[in-house]
Amino acid sequence: MATEKLLDEEVGAAEAVARVFEEAGIDMVFGISGGNMGRIYDALYDHQDSIRTVLVRHEQLASVMAEVYGRLTGKPGVAMGQGIFMLANGLLGTIEAQMGSSPMLLLTDLSDVAPFTRHAPYQGGTGDYGSADTKQTLSGVTKQTSVALAPAEAVQAVQLGIKHALSGERGPVGVVFHSRCFQGAIDPRARPSLYPTRHYLPAKQPGDPARVEAAARALLTAERPVIVAGNGVRIAQAYDALQALAELLGAGVATTASGKGVFAETHDLALGVSGNFGQPTANAAVGGTDLVLAVGTRLGPADTANENPELIDPTRQTLVQIDVEPRNASWAFPCDTVVVGDAALALAQIGDAVRAMGAPSPEAVALRKEALHAMRREHGFFDDPSYACDEAPVMPQRIFAELRRAMADDALVTCDAGENRLFMVHYFQTKAAGTLLMPGIGAMGYAVPAALAGRLVYPDRQVIAVTGDGGFSMALNGLMTARDENLPIAVVVLNNSALGWVKHGQGNRPIASTFAEMDFAAIAEAMGCTGIRVEEPAALGDALAQALAADRPTVVDVVTSFKPSFRDVTSPLLQG
C-alpha cells in the first residue's frame, strides 16, 4: 500500500509541527512563549480545539508537567519555550524524565538572530563564542538532542523526536530550532519528503517466547516467588497484567520507592515498598524469597539497601527480570532469565505460559497467602500507633491516615521530596494501582506541578499534592497556573518550618536548615485560592474534606511535628 505525504500544500514549519502533535495524539503543550518559539504558539492558536496550551509562570513547572503528562498518558509531554530560559529553568522535569523513563519533548530555539550568529547576539544559544551551547547542555540530560536548520528539518526533527522518546526505554528528547526553520514555507514537492507521523510511532515490543517460557518455568519451580515492581510498570500501564500474574501465582508484590502506587497496597498480596525506607514486611519477604521477579526496575542501590545480600543475593536466589531496555538487563545483579520487552505484554505472556504449563492450585495459592499474611502481622504492615495520635503539632502519620479516609479510592496523590517523601513511602498506604506519583530523582518542588498535570490528564478525579514546606515554597507559583487553568487541586503542606531531612541529619549542629514560621493558608488566600490552616489533629478531617470538595485550588497548611525523623523509617539493612 502506497504511503501518502504529510503535506499537500505549502505551509510554514510551525503549522506543520502543530499537525504532527495532532497526529501523535499530543493534546497538551506546557510552557511560556518567547523568541522563535512564539511562531509555534501562533500556529497553535488555530488548533485550540485539539491542543491545549498551558501557560506556566516558570519553566520548571512546564518541564515537570510535561514529564508527568508523559508518565501518565504514554505520549510525549511537550515543554516549550525560549532556549536560554529553558536551559536555565526547564531542566528539572527533563532530568526527571531521563532518569524516570518518561517520554517527553523539550522544544526550544537557538535565539541565533541570523546573520549575526557569530557576534554573540543577545540570548544566543548556538555554542559560538559568547553564546550558550543549547545542544550540548540538553544532550547531557536527554536521550538525544537534534538541531533543525530548515523548515522541513524542523518537522522531521519533531517526528523523530517523538519516535526516540517512545522507543526502547522511554525518555526526553530535545529539539532545537534555528531561526531559518521559521523563514518561508515547506514545499511538499521538495526533498526531504515528509510523511505522516504514524510511521514514526513505535509498536510495543513483546518478550522473546523462549525467554518467556524460561521465566514461567522458573516461577513455577520457586517455592516462595516474590515480585518487585518498579516505575516501569507505570510507564507501560501494566497494572492489570501485574495483578493478574501475582494472583495466578499467589506471589507477594513489593514495589520500589519510584514504583509505589503501581500495585494497591490494600491488596491481600501487597508487601509495600522495599529498600532503604520501605516496609519491614517487604524487605523480609524479598530477603526470604527463593525467586525475585523484577519488573520495570533496575534494582538500584536505594531499592536494595545498597545491594545488601540479605535483601538481594544472586548466589542464593533466582533472579528473573523484565525490562524494555536491554542495557538494564542484569545491570545491578546477574539475572538467571531476562525478558526484554514491554512490561504489560511480557507479564501477560508469562501469565499465559504459566497457565499452559499448569498454574499453582488454589490450595497452593491460599497457603502462600496465609504465609504472607502471617508475615504482615509479624512486621506490623501499615500498623503504626501514630496514625491515631492526638498530639499537636500534628504527626505526619495522622495526616496520612486522615487523608486516606477523606480521599476517593481512585484519587491521584503526588509527592514531593525530602523527609515528607520518606514518610509517604513508609506510612501512606495506597488504595489502588495508578494512584501515586513520586519524583524519582528526589527533587523538591515536584508535587504541585505534578498535581496540575495529573488534574489536566484526569479532570474527573481528585488530585492531591503532598509536600513539605520547603518544596511548596519552590512551587508556590503553581497555584497561579491552577487558577489560570481552573484546576481544583488540593495541596497538603507538612509545615514544620525546616528542611526536615537536612536538619535531622545535622544533629546538634543545625545550619541553614530552618525557616521562619509561614502561614501558607494565608498566602493561598492572597493568591485567590482557598487556604485552611490546621493546628490540631481533630481539625484535619473536615479540612481535607473541604479541600477535596472545593471547586478551586485549596491549600491545607498543617502545622506538623518535627519529632519523626528519617531515621525512624530507615531500614536496618542499610547498616549491614
The secondary structure of 88-146 as a DSSP string is: HHSHHHHHHHHHHT--EEEEEE----TT-GGG--TT--BSSTTS-BHHHHHHTSSSEEE
Starting at the edge strand found earlier in the chain, the sheet holding 291-295 runs 270-273, 252-255, 225-229, 291-295, 318-323, 337-340
Question: For 140-187, what is the HEC assignment?
Answer: CCCCEEEEECCHHHHHHHHHHHHHHHHCCCCCEEEEEECHHHHCCCEC
Q: What is the pLDDT of residue 352?
A: 98
Q: Which residue bears the cell 472545593?
A: 550
- Judged by phi (left if over 0) then psi (alpha if -120 to 50, else beta), residue 206 lies in beta
Q: Which three cell numbers stand for residue 264?
A: 494497591
Q: Which residue bears the cell 519553566?
A: 59
Residues present in the chain in total: 576
Full set of structural domains in the chain with CATH: 13-200 (3.40.50.970), 209-379 (3.40.50.1220), 385-572 (3.40.50.970)
Is the pLDDT score of 28 beyond 60? yes
Handedness of CA 279, 283, 289, 295 (dihedral sign): positive
Burial 519-551 (b: 16+ CB within 10 A, else e): ebbebbeebebbbbbbeebebbeebbeebbeee
User: Which among 191, 154, 160, 145 is positioned nearest to 17, based on CA atoms?
Assistant: 154
Angstrom CA distances, 553 to 56, 447, 482, stand at 15, 14, 6
User: Which among 537, 535, 524, 532 is positioned nearest to 473, based on CA atoms?
Assistant: 524
- Residue 70: which pLDDT band, with cuts at 50, 70 and 90? very high
Report the mean per-residue pLDDT for the chain. 96
> What is the 8-class DSSP label of residue 200?
G
Is the pLDDT score of 1 beyond 70? no
Q: What is the pLDDT of residue 37?
A: 95
Q: What is the pLDDT of residues 437-448, one digit of tens each?
A: 999 888 899 999
- Residue 370: which pLDDT band, with cuts at 50, 70 and 90? very high
CA 104 to chain centre: 11
User: Which among 143, 57, 69, 102 is positioned nearest to 441, based on CA atoms?
Assistant: 102
Is the pLDDT score of 216 beyond 70? yes
- Report the share of the chain in percent with pLDDT over 90: 94
- Using only C-alpha atoms, the chain has a radius of gyration, in whole angstroms, of 25
